[in-house]
Amino acid sequence: MRFLRIGLTLTMLAVAAPAFAGATVHVKLWDKDGDMNPDAKMGMGMPANMSMAMMKIKLDKTVVPAGKVTFDVTNTSKGTVHEMIVVPVADPKKTTLPYVSNENRVDEDAAGHLGEVSELDPGKTGSLTLDLKPGFYAVFCNIPDHFMNGMWATIKVQ
C-alpha cells in the first residue's frame, strides 16, 4: 500500500510539473533572402499590408499564461543576422514604438526593454526567460531597418 501511495504521489507530481515550469514560445526569425526595402513602413501600429513583409517574427503561440515565459529563438535566415527583443505595450493595435529614424531602429530603452536574445547568426539559436505579468508585449528585431520591414509580433500574457 505504501508503494502505491508513493507511486501515485510521484505520478501526480510528474503530471503537475509542466504547469509550474511556465510557458515556452518557439520563435522563428525569418527573412526572404535578406532582402529589405529601405523605405518600408511596416512597423507596429502602422497601416500596412503585412503579407508584403520581407522579414517576420513567427511565434508558435500568441497567448500564454502569466509567469515564467521562455522564448526559444531560431534564426532561420540563410544569410542575415537577427535578434529578438521583448517590450511591454498597452494596446498592440494602437501602439507605435519609439523609433529613432536616423538609426533606423526602435529606441529600446524608451520602449521599456525587458530582455533580448542578442544578434544570432544564420541558423543559430538562443533563449530568453522572463517573468511576465498579464498584458501585451511586442517581440521584434532591432537590427537597423528590420523592424520597419515587418520583423515584429505581439503576444498576450493572461
Provide the residue ranges of all domains of the chain, joining segments of one domain with +.
Answer: 21-157
Grid coordinates representing 40 are 518600408
- 3-class DSSP assignment, residue 109: helix
Confidence of residue 7 (pLDDT cuts 50, 70, 90): very low
Distance CA 118, CA 127 (A): 10
Overall average pLDDT of the 24-30 stretch: 97
With a CB cutoff of 8 Å and minimum separation 6, the contacts of 41 are 48, 148
Q: CA-to-CA distance for 97 and 131, rounded, in angstroms?
A: 22
Residue 101's pLDDT band, with cuts at 50, 70 and 90, is very high
Rounded to the nearest angstrom, the gap between the alpha carbon of residue 96 and the centroid of all alpha carbons in its chain is 16
CATH 2.60.40.420 assigned to domain 21-157? The reply is yes
Q: Tell which wins on pLDDT, 20 or 91.
A: 91
Is 121 in a helix, a strand, or coil?
coil
